[in-house]
Amino acid sequence: MITYSDILDHPNHFYSYTDATFTNADNQKLTSGYVFMMARGAITWFSKKQMITALSSIEAEYIALSEAAHEGRWLRSLFFELGFMQVLLTTIWGDNKGSIAMMKNPQFYK
């Protein structure tokens, strides 16, 4: 079984933390972001006010997780081309139980 410290300390594996704000008082737009880490150091990050108006905190977090998943797929491709095979699955951590449940079983959501 792979532990949290195995993921953090593996020299050839990247992982991500992601988060989003539901709305802010200025314009009701969500802000989402992520950071990809490798060997406990940041290798890429993103934070942006989105054009989408989320209807719930679950939707806002899901959008942030989706953006991180796209970046993770691109990073895996880049690392493959550079000759650094990823031996572990890309780990993306989010902090919203509803959006995590939706990622695991999307059949009941659009």
Does the residue 106 lie in any domain? no
Could you give the C-alpha distances from 106 to 96, 98, 101, in angstroms and in order?
15, 11, 8
What's the number of domains the chain is made of?
1
**90-102 residue pLDDT tens:** 888 888 777 767 7
Residue 29 lies in a domain: yes
Spatial CA neighbour of 68 closest among 104, 106, 17: 17
Find the domain containing 96 and state its range: 4-101
Name the pLDDT band for 27 (thresholds 50, 70, 90): low
Residue that has been written with the tokens 């942006």 in this structure: 48
Q: CA angle at residue 37 from 35 to 38, to 5 degrees?
A: 165
Q: CA 44 from chain center: how many Å?
A: 11
Q: Is residue 40 part of a domain?
A: yes
How do residues 32-65 score in pLDDT, each as one tens digit? 899 999 888 899 999 988 777 777 777 888 888 8
Q: Is the pLDDT of residue 8 over 70?
A: no
Residue 110 belongs to a domain? no
Q: Where residue 17 sits, what CATH number does that domain have? A: 3.30.420
Map tokens 């802010």 to a residue: 24
Whether 49 is in a domain gets the answer yes
Residue 13 belongs to a domain: yes
Is there a domain that residue 107 lies in?
Answer: no
pLDDT for 28 beyond 80: no
Does 108 map to a domain? no
